[in-house]
Amino acid sequence: MNHQIQSYLIKEEPFYRASGDEVELFEAAYALRTPMILKGPTGCGKTRFMEAMAWRLKRPLITLACNEDMTASDLVGRYLLDAEGTVWKDGPLTLAARHGAICYLDEVVEARQDTLVVIHPLTDDRRILPLDKRGELIHAHPDFQLVMSYNPGYQSAAKDLKQSTKQRFGALDFQYPEATAEAEIVSHESGCDDDTAARLVGIAHRSRALRGRGLEEGISTRMLIRAASLIAGGIAPLAACRLAMTKPLTDDDDLLRALDGFIDAHFR
């Protein structure tokens, strides 16, 4: 394996608790090198799933957090100046395509549409990446796969992916785990006891019912793990929940009182 991407290998198996047949489906998609989209709410485990799959498949995982300022050059690469003059520096997409890594574009809808056009030749039968500035045409390594993720319930219609992009991909839907599974994840990741984890999950489920009624998002699994870690470290449950779960979620006083009521009900 090329030394440039060895650092992107996942060294230890990440903890991931499957909630359905997503592992088997992704492995089948990878066997065909099908580009994939992972759809689901913030903090539900999409990135952890990708880390677990990269470990299972023994492939390097190159992750890029997308944003509205990202350009095509940020993906494919650019010329840079160093002590020896002008040199070409591969971007994450080019590095993955050259050497057979999985390239994971997180929150891809945050990127501009004109930036994403560069991925199209890699997502059909051609599997090529033209580097116009370099005058090079890369034929993707046989092990290369492109994966993207986003939260379909959060972005505006203006930020949605074009159909010309969506139809090049397979897709998996992710949701927050059911209560027992989510409590198991929270306990494992934080070191808190099972009862505390179950109480935290109960708070999260009630907060998620407020989505669309004042909250853009409910309390995520990621936030639960942070609160549980604080509790396991000796912080009082009420303080930990407010620090890690409710105050980051909203600045609205009425919503904060409602969320604090959920905490009080579970940790009275």
Residues 6+ apart with CB under 8 A from 156: none
Q: What is the pLDDT of residues 233-264, one digit of tens each?
A: 999 999 999 999 999 999 999 999 999 999 99
- The mean predicted confidence, pLDDT, of the chain is 93
Q: What is the pLDDT of residues 20-56, one digit of tens each?
A: 999 999 999 999 999 999 999 999 999 999 999 999 9
* 152 contacts 37 by C-beta, under 8 angstroms: no
Burial class (CB in 10 A: 0-12, 13-18, 19+), 180: exposed
Per-residue confidence (pLDDT) for residue 154, from 0 to 100: 60
Please state, for a pLDDT cut of 70, what percent of the chain lies above it: 97
Alpha-carbon distance of 74 to 78, in angstroms, equals 8
Alpha-carbon distance of 22 to 260, in angstroms, equals 35
Q: What is the pLDDT of residues 114-157, one digit of tens each?
A: 888 999 999 999 999 999 999 999 999 999 999 999 998 665 54
Residue 21, SS3 per DSSP: coil
Per-residue confidence (pLDDT) for residue 212, from 0 to 100: 81
With bands split at pLDDT 50, 70 and 90, how would you rate the model's confidence at 158? low
Q: What is the pLDDT of residues 185-223, one digit of tens each?
A: 999 999 999 999 999 999 999 999 998 888 888 999 999
Alpha-carbon distance of 23 to 59, in angstroms, equals 15
* Residue 261 to residues 95, 122, 176, 249, 255, Cα–Cα distance (Å): 50, 50, 22, 15, 10
Per-residue confidence (pLDDT) for residue 155, from 0 to 100: 53
